[in-house]
Amino acid sequence: MRSTLLRFAFYLILFCPTAWAASGASTSNTHEFQLSNGLKLIVREDHRAPTVAHMVWYRAGSIDEVNGRTGVAHVLEHMMFKGTDKVKSGEFSRLVAAVGGRENAFTSRDYTAYFQQVEKSKLDEVMKLEADRMSNLKFDDAEFLKEIQVVMEERRLRTEDNPSSLLYESLMATAYISSPYRYPVVGWMNDLVNMKASDARDWYGSWYKPNNATVVIAGDVDPKIILQAVEKYYGTASARELPERKPQTEPLQKGIKRVQVKAPADSARLAMAWKVPKLQPGALDDNEPYALELLTAVLDGYDNARLNRKLIKQERVVNDIGVGYDMISRGPELFLISASMAKGKTVEQAENSIRKALKELVDNGILESELKRIKVRILSEQIYKRDSIFGQAMEIGSTEMAGFSWRDIDQMLEKMQTITPAQVQAVAKKYLVDEGLTIAVLDPQARQSSSKQGGNHAAK
């Protein structure tokens, strides 16, 4: 649905479609242009089917928000469907539907993106609409007051009544002191209650400019013709100086932090998050982010990976376990391990088991065969990814938004294949330490449910 909140950013970066080709050949299906108003255009040719994905990415996400107005990036995303000077509220979706299009939008910490997928002859019609709302959005206060209710329902659905989301929200707000990554993308409920139409309009006025946007088009298209159309529709938007983005660098964490969340659930959950480095644009040779990325897969990348095998299958201390890390993003990064408890097991037992498994890896290293297996998977996934043109557009856009070029993807994949077991061991030893650790625990509370009692009046 509209506004999928991408709380965990994508892992698409691993799965490059154009690696290893010589630079001429590898880029021959991808083309980059820049309009005089600063808008960047990237076209990926893929002629397998007569369809096209059209996306516009704005480099404005919850990382750009200020306290008291959290959630405004996402609220504006909703308001983008509420009309322009020429297009009435709701008409955008009707016009996209009329040409058979699929459409949606999503907001993350780093960006807000809008997309349509259409049969290729319909591309101009959706491009015209998308370009129109880049400059001419116009909604009245009444529309805002209705839509903010919808956003609050979205927060109730995805967060208030969802203990895992509540836990994650608390984890982020605890791990970070200064970085805006401490805000939930959907925003705090109280900020939504107090949000004004003018907050959304100010946001739009600040960030929705061609010089803050990247258009990505993938599919059965001719780049020359695409460039003409993009010039025609997006070329009229005027550039404007963007607000200053303060670095808001997170101060160094100096010791373990713990937070507890009580919420209706049956099993306890545990989340352990370590502050770790990420890849910096222009420093693609830094081994550590790649090693951290591979470490996630060594721990949980396949059914017999270390944590799955030891904690779920052998010790049976957790019911499920997951590991996450993104080596590219605009803000600071966490290496996150989260687990739900097995029946009768405590979070202390799970934490001990996780620590034991990490210690074993730090002490004894990993096998060459483990790493090889993961590298093969990365390569084969790269072929599978080509099956979806939408996936290709997503990969290009999210890479660009993190401050990298789609051209860097080749180099990142090459680099990933050169990482050694010793390098993976080294990052585990260096970064998975208590100084930078935040632990969040979900303490389950009983919720009244009818599943064990009456209260209904059904015939059967």
Question: Restricting to residues 162-191, which ones interact with another protein according to CB under 8 A?
Answer: none
Distance between CA 289 and CA 343 in Å, rounded?
35
CB of 417 to another protein, least distance (A): 8
Contact predicate 12/385, CB 8 Å: yes
- Residue 101 found at the interface with another protein (CB under 8 A): yes
Q: What is the DSSP string of 344-403?
A: T--HHHHHHHHHHHHHHHHHH---HHHHHHHHHHHHHHHHHHTT-HHHHHHHHHHHHHTT
Contact range with another protein by CB under 8 A, out of 33-41, 249-257, 270-278, 302-310: 302-310
The H-assigned helical ranges of 32-139 are 72-79, 91-98, 123-135
Q: Tokens in use for 264?
A: 């209706």
The C-alpha atoms of residue 263 and residue 403 are separated, in whole angstroms, by 37
Residue 376 binds another protein, judged by CB under 8 A: yes
Strand order in the sheet with 437-445: 257-264, 437-445, 269-276, 333-341, 318-324
What mask, x for binding another protein by CB under 8 A, covers residues 386 to 425?
xxxx---------------------------x--------
Task: Report the run of H or E that residue 200 belongs to, with start and end.
Answer: helix 197-207
Q: How many residues does the chain have?
A: 460
Helix (H) or strand (E) holding 443: strand 437-445
Can 160 be counted among the known catalytic residues?
no
- β-pairing, 40-45 vs 213-219, is parallel
Q: Give the binding range for another protein (CB under 8 A) out of 154-162, 198-206, 346-354, 433-441.
A: 154-162
The footprint of another protein on residues 214-233 (CB under 8 A) is 220
**Shortest Å, Cβ 24 to another protein:** 11
Q: Interacting stretch for another protein, rule CB under 8 A, among 31-39, 68-76, 322-330, 339-347?
A: 339-347
Q: Determine contact, residues 263/445, Cβ cutoff 8 Å.
A: yes
| 313 binding another protein? (CB under 8 A) | yes
Q: Nearer Cβ to another protein, position 164 or 206?
A: 164
Cβ distance to another protein smaller for residue 254 or 457: 457
Total binding residues toward another protein, as defined by CB under 8 A = 95
Least separation in angstroms between CB 171 and another protein: 19
Decide: is 122 part of the binding site for another protein (CB under 8 A): yes
In whole angstroms, the minimum distance from the beta carbon of 298 to another protein comes to: 11
Give residues 237-276 in contact with another protein (rule: CB under 8 A): 264-267
Instruction: Look up residue 157 and give its DSSP letter.
Output: I
When the beta carbons of 16 and 35 are compared against another protein, the nearer one is 16
Residue 88 is a binding residue for another protein (CB under 8 A): no
User: Catalytic: which of 32, 45, 65, 77?
Assistant: 77
Shortest separation between residue 30's beta carbon and another protein, angstroms: 8
- Annotated catalytic residues are 77
